[in-house]
Amino acid sequence: MGKPTGFIEFERELPSDRDPLERVKDWKEIHLHLPEDRLKKQGARCMDCGIPFCHSGSLISGMASGCPINNLIPEWNDLVFRGLWQEALDRLHKTNNFPEFTGRVCPAPCEGSCVLGINNPPVTIKNIEVSIIDKGWEEGWVKPEPPQKRTGKKVAIIGSGPAGLSAAAQLNKAGHLVTVFERADRPGGLLMYGIPNMKLDKNEVVLRRVKLLEDEGVIFKCNVNVGTDITAEQLRKDFDSIIVATGATKARDLPIPGRELKGIHVAMDFLTANTRAVLDADATGITAAGKDVVIIGGGDTGTDCVGTSLRHGCNSVTQLEIMAKPPLVRAANNPWPEWPKTYKMDYGQEEAAARFGDDPRVYLTTATHFEGDENGNVKAVHVVNVEWKKDDKGNFGPQKVPGTERVLPAQLVLLAMGFLGPEQPLLDALNVERDARTNIKAEHEKYTTSLPGVFAAGDCRRGQSLVVWAFNEGRGAAREWVRFLMGKTDLP
């Protein structure tokens, strides 16, 4: 703690974002940066709290509390306050392979458990984190560091998303020969095609780090669908071991009348096609231009669909949320250090409010059926209000409220209701055991599957979760992979 009275003297301050009505005209990142002198003051707000819950990485009430990769947050906050930026970067890289990713897209459970946040606004941890790594890139401190020795051990990693990338980085650092197989045309998985460019720039951020990994010796093989282009048996023959990190990409559908109509898409198909259209001049995406858009689902993916639709030039956008509107402050049953389930306007909702005058989210509402035109295109969504209570059988859930039925015009409907687990064909080909939720059965912190030498990490093991949990699991699987093959490990 560099300044004992910093949390008393300085207020929480975040950098301004680009103007909503201006930023919807392009795909550039929305965030601006604080100047260095003001960042030092934000670092000074980190207090000598005794037990820094911010890097605890716990699960409380099923939600992340603190940093799942155990970032040494008080230490690099202090180093930023003292102007020791390169030392702060070294400290940050000890626990985080990709702070430029977490500093942009992580929801910051660290801030939700900040001790200062009990009765004051928490420390701006996420913004300080991304400022450290961005300065590191700008100053040329982030350079390829290939291992001095190679062990000759070969690992195949299936999937180049957050878990796969972090496992690759750790194993390569330890001197093993790493090959990452990716079925898409570019590495990155969710980071590349699941998150829009305005949140995470693909060329300047994602592919920059991929290039560094390649310079350090990691081999990426894209457009390779394991189980189709190469068999699982061949991988087991060619490599000493395998880490499966395919994510949980099976989207939750909405099987209500009219689902077969044209113009109804799973959100990830919409976002993936859009990113391809942004990156490749000859690519075509699913467009929201001139359309009334209804997004079903209120999470981050739904928000990304809002922001993307606005950049296309949609006529209107409505986001249906089956849950109640969160309170403005923590509820009594949501105490610190749990993740604060409070109301906030994310970037997409801010942009929609600037464009159309209000938050696009409609709470306690669900769709009952889709209506089509004479050509089989969706033209409307029929919705109804719900209230959460017990039904006649005593089951608690959303119950329709009679008399609240209404119709929303829609020529584009996007389903953003989360994911049910990993896609099964590859897991069938590997013949790995699965749990009741169809995830790969492997114990956390062990990551060993029912097949000797085959490990699983990330969402394909734990189910849909945060990017930062995927980094935690990728690092952990790398550690256990080394222990399995070498008998011991120095990886954290």
* Domains observed in the chain: 6-139 (1.10.1060.10), 154-249+420-486 (3.50.50.60), 253-417 (3.50.50.60)
- Can you tell me the mean pLDDT for 425-429? 91
Residues 6+ away with beta carbon under 8 Å from 212: 142, 143, 144
For position 414, what pLDDT does the model report? 98
For position 58, what pLDDT does the model report? 87
Q: What's the CA gap between 295 and 263, in Å, rounded?
A: 12
Q: Is the model's pLDDT at 2 over the cut of 80?
A: no
- Can you tell me the mean pLDDT for 351-371? 97
Do the beta carbons of residue 56 and residue 112 sit within 8 Å?
no
Alpha helices in 6-124 (DSSP H): 6-9, 20-23, 36-44, 73-81, 85-93, 99-105, 109-112
- Can you tell me the mean pLDDT for 361-377? 97
Residue 337: asked if its preceding bond is cis (omega within 30°), the reply is yes
Q: What's the CA gap between 377 and 380, in Å, rounded?
A: 9
For residue 297, count other CB atoms closer than 10 A to its CB: 21
For position 48, what pLDDT does the model report? 80
Reported confidence tier of residue 229, pLDDT bands at 50, 70, 90: very high
Reported confidence tier of residue 282, pLDDT bands at 50, 70, 90: confident
Alpha helices in 357-458 (DSSP H): 424-430
Residue 439 C-alpha from the chain's centroid = 18
Please state which of the ranges 26-30, 291-295, 428-432 shows the lowest mean pLDDT: 428-432
The DSSP secondary-structure symbol of 117 reads: G
Closest-CA residue to 105 (of 128, 87, 83, 130)? 130
Which helix (H) or strand (E) segment holds residue 408: the answer is strand 406-409
Q: How does pLDDT run across 161-197, given as a tens digit for each residue?
A: 999 999 999 999 999 999 999 999 999 999 999 999 9
For position 393, what pLDDT does the model report? 87
Distances (CA, A) of 192 to 22, 229, 280, 346, 455: 24, 22, 13, 20, 23
Amino acid symbol at 457: A
Q: What's the CA gap between 104 and 113, in Å, rounded?
A: 19
Q: Please count the residues of the chain.
A: 492
- Can you tell me the mean pLDDT for 14-33? 95
Reported confidence tier of residue 280, pLDDT bands at 50, 70, 90: very high
Average predicted confidence (pLDDT) for the chain: 95
Q: How does pLDDT run across 111-156, given as a tens digit for each residue?
A: 999 999 999 999 999 999 999 999 999 999 999 999 999 999 999 9
- The two three-digit tokens of residue 289, written as one number: 């231009």
Strand order through the sheet with 154-158 = 219-221, 177-181, 154-158, 241-244, 454-456
For position 180, what pLDDT does the model report? 98
For position 492, what pLDDT does the model report? 84
For position 64, what pLDDT does the model report? 87
Q: Is the model's pLDDT at 423 over the cut of 80?
A: yes
Greater confidence, 283 or 26? 26
Q: What's the CA gap between 101 and 434, in Å, rounded?
A: 30
For residue 152, count other CB atoms closer than 10 A to its CB: 9
- Can you tell me the mean pLDDT for 299-308? 96
Could you tell me where the beta strands, DSSP code E, fall in 182-270? 219-221, 241-244, 250-251, 264-266
For residue 440, count other CB atoms closer than 10 A to its CB: 27
For position 490, what pLDDT does the model report? 87
User: What region, left, alpha or beta, does residue 227 occupy, with left being phi > 0 and alpha being psi -120 to 50 degrees?
Assistant: left
Reported confidence tier of residue 449, pLDDT bands at 50, 70, 90: very high
Q: How does pLDDT run across 473-489, given as a tens digit for each residue?
A: 999 999 999 999 888 88
Alpha helices in 389-432 (DSSP H): 424-430
For position 391, what pLDDT does the model report? 87
User: What region, left, alpha or beta, does residue 359 occupy, with left being phi > 0 and alpha being psi -120 to 50 degrees?
Assistant: beta
Contacts 24+ apart (CB under 8 A), 227-230: 227/425, 227/426, 227/429, 227/430, 230/181
Q: How does pLDDT run across 401-415, given as a tens digit for each residue?
A: 999 999 999 999 999
For position 387, what pLDDT does the model report? 96
- Can you tell me the mean pLDDT for 251-256? 96
